[in-house]
Amino acid sequence: MPEQPPYRLHDSVLYQLTVTTRQQERRLEEGLRGLGLTRLTWCVLLAVRNEGLRQPSEIAEFIGIDRPSTSRALRQMEAAGWVARRDGTPDRRTRSVALTADGVALLEAATPLAQENSRHFLSKLAAGEAETLERLLAKLRAGEARALDRF
Return the CATH number at 57. 1.10.10.10
Q: Does 9 fall in a domain?
A: no
Q: Does 118 fall in a domain?
A: yes
Q: Does 12 fall in a domain?
A: no
pLDDT for position 149: 47
Q: Does 7 fall in a domain?
A: no
Domain boundaries, position 69: 27-140
Q: Does 4 fall in a domain?
A: no
pLDDT for position 88: 65
Q: Does 79 fall in a domain?
A: yes
Percent of residues, the chain, with pLDDT higher than 70: 91
- Report pTM: 0.83
Q: Does 5 fall in a domain?
A: no
pLDDT at 146 > cutoff 70: no
Q: pLDDT (tens digit, 9 = 90+) per residue, 80-138? A: 999 998 876 665 556 799 999 999 999 999 999 999 999 999 999 999 999 999 999 99
In sequence order, what DSSP letters do the residues of the chain get, joined into one string? -PPPPPP-GGG-HHHHHHHHHHHHHHHHHHHHHTTT--HHHHHHHHHHHTS---SHHHHHHHHT--HHHHHHHHHHHHHHTSEEEEE-STTS--EEEEE-HHHHHHHHHHHHHHHHHHHHHHTTSPTTHHHHHHHHHHHHHTTS-SS-S--
How many domains does one find in the chain? Answer: 1
